[in-house]
Structure 1
Amino acid sequence: MIIDFSVENWSSYGEEATLSMQATKERNHRERVAKVSSSLSVLPVAAIFGANAAGKSNLVSALSALRGLVTKAQPDLSDISGRHFAFESVFAKRPTKFEIEFLTEGFKYNYQVAIHEGLVVQEKLERGIGKLSLVFARKGSEVIWGPKFKGLGHELDELSLEQLRPNQLLLNLSGCQSVSALAAPVSWLTNSLLILPPPASQARTPEGLLKSLDAAALTSLTSIDFGSLGFDIKTISLDPAIAEVFTKLQSDIYEQLSPALSELTQKLSALQLGISSELSEDLVALRDSAKKVSEQWSRPEPDASELTVTRESLAGDEVSLSIQSESDGTKRALALLPVFQKLMQEGMELTVVIDELDSSLHSLASRALISRFLASLNSDSRRQLIFTTHDTDLLTTSLFRRDEIWLVDKSKRTMQSELYAVMEFEGVRYDHDLRKMYLSGRFGAVPDLMAV
């Protein structure tokens, strides 16, 4: 679970902005708040509202960028530097900073990164149950290990720090999985933090997730999408003419790639002798990847799959329709339902961040998904949903606590995005009509329509 996330000098965020998931003394819906310790309770949900171009998506992209820096095979740090705040020249000379504090496997972790001109300026990791202790701190190429973690001995040797590049995070080293103090945060960022971009930039839902939908999830689809009974993923035969062109193209490319791939695998096998174990593992992985590419391109027949949705006709028969004939709402539901099903599994450690949750969904459908998730929680749950939305019908204390409702506004004076919670406004009670107050401009973060 995310406890806090801060970003500085990223896109529309100049000065530091912080999304805090730490629960306040708000008493509303307290039964679902995650009780971590006597001094720390973590919110299971955050709903982020704001006008178009205020910076909601930039907050999500900042979190996604941090995750990618750790989890991608070869992240490009120059892309990070290129996203600095552009409306004041001084920010071009400052590093972009990310800081995240999160909970996993019973420990709190605090991870900080600063990047400037495509290089790692600073990197720091702390861990603890109560008070945090330094795991490592890095400035430039110098890495200092905390007093409690110097004794890791041979585990640290597995990191091969001499291989650490100036444009690479320490947590991005493949050897981190072998070091107990580093494996957990890497695993959480890789497997327990799921970020969904807006539908316009989102790839199709993976078949594996769709196939994981059970009967209960399909019932949910029926209830929010006017009669969908189910779906199927079928392998289809391409038109013979298209298949012939595709097969020839595939064959031509394979003929050109095959000799180079064979030579590459042989050289990689030879290089394994007399090198470090970590590099050897990387070479094996690279060799295997080369073999896999070779095998894929040598397939004699092209394959394709089609997602079909099953509906009931007036006569009671099942009718299969291509997903392309379905509404954007159906497609959006198919993208979200597997995620929400996973999010509602008891015992799961998972944080899901969704940009534009309500896109193409009816307000009642969005509310149903959120309500079912929240109803599945208790104080021992470690599941979390963070989303951006324009759906003001969700702005109600019957659904959210005041500290779970966040707003993003673009300052006319500084042109920077500002992030703040409804809880920060004095005189706002849990029984107030927050939607009415928001639309009237009481909290800011609404479109400026004076010129329209």
Structure 2
Amino acid sequence: MLKSFRLGNHRSFRDEHELLLMPALPGDDRTAVPVAAIYGANASGKSNLLDGLAFMVSAVRYSFSRWGSESAPRRPFRLDPAARERPSVFVAEFVAGDVPYTYGFTLDDTEVREEWLYSFPEKRKRIVFERTGAAIRFGSTVADTKAKLDVLEELIRPNVLLLSVCASLKLDQLMPAYDWFRAVPELLPSQAASMPSSSLAQRLAHFVEGPQDRSDLLMPLLSAADVGITGIDVIKTTDPKNGRRYYDVRFRHGADYERFELNDESAGTRSWLELLLVLLPVLDTGSLALVDELDRSLHPLLTAKLIGLFKDPETNPHGAQLIFTTHDTSLLGTMLGDQVLDRDQIWFVEKQADGASTLYPLTDFKPRKEQNTERRYLAGSYGAVPVLDRQDFVDAVLGR
């Protein structure tokens, strides 16, 4: 469970900003909220916030196995020459195995400058490890470190995270933190709805026909979404030349079970399928999902129901979380009598005149429970909306 995420000097976030997921409303004693929605104008930097967290996850998982030997693929703020010389910062507070952790690192274009992991069993801070450049210091809780230091020196390149190497070294004290990052699926980008049908079909077939058949979860949610699908057929074929197995998917519609290809389905249906393939396993494991433009091609009522799956303890018993960007302002209000997003689950990203993004929560404005958040947001009360002038559009079209 993620409690907070802080980043700095990553893409449009020149300065350090922090996304806090701890509850901010009176009487809420949960460790973290299950949902966070990010609003802002086009090109404000909303996606860059999710990209920063996705980069941190990817660095933990793949810096050892996939990064080259001489560079770190960071993306610093480009509109300030001084920022290119400063390190990028990524810090996460999370709970793994009922133990709170703080993990973070700074890196420049060629190396990891600092890296640290602290645990807080029984609310007492314990150093798991601290790293400055090539110097690594383990806390007293990490056993057999002397025997592993020689191996570490061979495995850890300057641009590789120590936490990324821990799976190979079998350092038990580091594994809960590593496993937490490993469980986070890749960021679902905004263009997912236009993913090639062949790729989506392969993923769908694996979801239904894989080791853990989840068709019993998928079909009820397709039915509940009212998209007209009454069944799914997976057709397997094998290439006689190379023995490779391929999958095709057909969707049954109507009382006569007429079968349709994936390309025949609407963009909204394909988007719903893509989201379910990512979010159902997250709900099952209690992990974290990152979705750019959750509302893509979906009716607002359907998007609200999807958010509700994470907010409802009955459908989210393992504490899974959903962080997403959206332009759908109807989610700021009520639907069918229910408040879609709580006041401490709403964040804004705004880009300043110098091109740097800022992040801030709705709670900074001390909103009242009964106020119309959607109307106030669209009126500009919270910022993070585009500055539009009707005459500018008229002049542009008329060429004046």
TM range (shorter): 0.7 to 0.9
* TM-score of the superposed pair, with normalisation by structure 1: 0.77
1:407 aligns with 2:348: yes
Amino acid of the structure 1 residue aligned with 2:229: S
Please, which runs of 5 or more residues in structure 1 have no aligned partner?
Answer: 35-40, 248-298
Structure 2 contact 283–318 (Cα < 8 Å) conserved: no
Aligned to 1:134, the other structure's residue is in SS state strand
Larger Rg: 1
Q: C-alpha distance in 2, partners of 1:202/1:152?
A: 47
Taking structure 1 as reference, are residues 159 and 385 closer, same or farther at Cα in structure 2, changes over 3 Å only? farther
Counterpart residue type for residue 48 of structure 1: I
Corresponding residue number in structure 1 for 2:93:
101
Partner of 1:42: 32
Q: How many residues align?
A: 374
State the Cα distance separating 1:174 from its structure 2 match. 5.2
| Distance (Å, rounded) in 2 between the aligned partners of 1:158 and 1:179 | 14
How far does residue 74 in structure 1 lie from its aligned partner after superposition? 1.6
Q: How far apart are the structure 2 equivalents of 1:2 and 1:356?
A: 20
RMSD between aligned residues: 2.5
Mark the CA change 1:234 to 1:379 in structure 2 (over 3 Å): closer, same or farther: closer
1:355 pairs with 2:292:
yes
| Cα shift readout 1:225-271 (whole Å, capped 9, x = no counterpart) | 43111222212478xxxx9xxx5xxxxxxxxxxxxxxxxxxxxxxxx
Q: Is the 8 A contact 1:26 1:401 kept in 2?
A: no
In the TM superposition, what is the alpha-carbon distance from 1:46 to its structure 2 partner? Answer: 0.5
The corresponding residue for 2:60 is: 70
Q: Supply the AA of the counterpart residue of 1:311.
A: H
Q: Is the 8 A contact 2:309 2:316 kept in 1?
A: no
Q: Distance in 2 between matches of 1:141 and 1:202?
A: 41
Find the counterpart in structure 2 of residue 133 from structure 1. Answer: 126
Out of 246, 258, 267, the residue aligned to residue 328 of structure 1 is: 267
Shift in Å, 1:194: 5.2
Worse-matched range after superposition: 158-167 or 351-360:
158-167
Change (3 A) 1:158 1:128: farther
Retained in 2: the 8 A contact 1:160–1:175? Answer: no
The structure where helix makes up a greater share of residues is 1
Matched AA of 2:303 = S
In structure 2, the partner of 1:58 is 48
Give identity over the alignment, percent: 29
1:194–1:353 CA contact under 8 A, matched in 2: yes
**More deviation in 388-397 or 204-213?**
204-213
Report the equivalent of 1:6.
6
Distance 1:159 1:2, change over 3 A: farther
Unaligned runs of 5+ in 2: 394-400
Match of 2:361 in 1: 421
Residue pair 2:148, 2:169 contacting (<8 A) in 1 also: no
CA separation of 1:388 and 1:311: change in aligned 2, threshold 3 A:
same
Q: Output the TM-score relative to the length of structure 2.
A: 0.86
Measured in 2, the distance between the counterparts of 1:45 and 1:177 equals 35
User: How far apart in 2 are the matches of 1:64 and 1:9?
Assistant: 15
Mapped partners of 2:364, 2:183: distance in 1: 33
Aligned to 1:92: 84
Report the CA distance between 1:430 and its aligned residue. 1.3
1:447 pairs with 383, 386, 392, which one?
Answer: 386
- Deviation of 1:199 after TM superposition, in Å, equals 2.9
Amino acid at match of 2:178: V
Task: Please show how residues 281-320 of structure 1 align to structure 2 within 5 Å.
Answer: 299=242, 301=243, 303-312=245-254, 316-320=255-259
Matches within 5 A, 1:161-310: 161-173=153-165, 175=167, 178-192=170-184, 195-200=187-192, 204-205=199-200, 206=203, 207-211=205-209, 212-236=213-237, 247=241, 299=242, 301=243, 303-310=245-252
Which 4+ stretches in 1 moved above 6 angstroms? none
1:386 is matched with 323
Q: Secondary structure at the match of 1:137?
A: strand
Following superposition, the deviation at residue 25 of structure 1 comes to 3.4
AA aligned opposite 1:224: A
In the alignment, which residue of structure 1 is the partner of 2:398? none
Larger CA deviation: 197-206 vs 169-178: 197-206
